[in-house]
């Protein structure tokens, strides 16, 4: 079993904590090579950088420590010392939970800088497959964290789960060349469960 970090935004962290998100799609880099109109070299799922079934992912998310620790680098906090002895780490606030109503917190630290000791969510990879992003099914849109209100079809003013996911996809990937919904890139479709 291997462990790897994976970054999620605040809304997706909340969806994981609520049990709505059990899949993620990530752009394959580099994209598979198209040899001809009918032939494409697609990577094997066992080469997925997010792991294989049974591997673990630890979620990186936006976080803060207590104000007195603001000058201690996150990587050094697990070994910081005081006159009273070593400190394992300070209390943490996870910004996916909203703004803290109490406490004296340092400014939010980006998820990319979250050290391994600070994570709170572990995921186990259940399956990995390769597909085009537009191949996502209704059930997979829901497993991506789509709010249940979008599952009620037939209301003209209510977006469908596919429209919700398309908007989410483009908000994350739309500005990067070759990665927008319209570009229909190949993606790693990773299914997971809370570990």
Domain locations in the chain as residue ranges: 3-61+120-194, 63-111
CATH superfamily entry for domain 3-61+120-194: Sulfate adenylyltransferase (3.10.400.10)
pLDDT at residue 175 greater than cutoff 90: yes
pTM: 0.87
pLDDT at residue 127 greater than cutoff 70: yes
* Alpha carbon distance 94, 105 (integer Å): 11
pLDDT at residue 152 greater than cutoff 60: yes
pLDDT at residue 90 greater than cutoff 70: no
pLDDT of amino acid 172: 95
pLDDT at residue 141 greater than cutoff 80: yes
pLDDT at residue 45 greater than cutoff 60: yes
| DSSP H/E element including 91 | none
pLDDT of amino acid 77: 73
DSSP characters over 29-77: SSPPEEEETTEEEPPPGGG-TT--TT-EEEEE--EEEBGGGTTS-GGGG
Condensed to tens digits (0 to 9), the pLDDT of residues 92-122 reads: 899 999 999 888 899 999 999 999 988 999 9
């Amino acid at each position: 079993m291997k462990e790897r970090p994976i970054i999620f935004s605040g809304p997706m962290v909340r969806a994981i904590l609520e049990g709505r998100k059990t899949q993620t799609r990530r752009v394959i880099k580099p994209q598979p090579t198209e040899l001809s109109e009918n032939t494409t070299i697609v990577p094997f799922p066992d080469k997925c950088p997010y792991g294989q079934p049974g591997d673990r992912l630890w979620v990186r998310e936006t976080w803060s420590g207590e104000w007195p620790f603001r000058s201690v680098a996150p990587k050094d906090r697990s070994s910081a010392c005081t006159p009273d002895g070593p400190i394992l780490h300070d209390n943490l606030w996870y910004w996916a939970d909203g703004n803290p109503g109490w406490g004296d917190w340092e400014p939010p630290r980006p998820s990319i800088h979250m050290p391994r000791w600070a994570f709170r969510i572990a995921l186990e990879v259940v399956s990995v497959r390769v597909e085009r992003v537009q191949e996502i099914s209704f059930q997979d849109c829901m497993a991506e964290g789509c709010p249940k209100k979008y599952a009620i079809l037939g209301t003209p003013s209510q977006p469908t789960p596919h429209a919700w996911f398309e908007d989410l996809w483009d908000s994350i990937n739309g500005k990067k060349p070759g990665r927008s919904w319209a570009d229909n890139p190949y993606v790693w479709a990773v299914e997971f469960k809370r570990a």
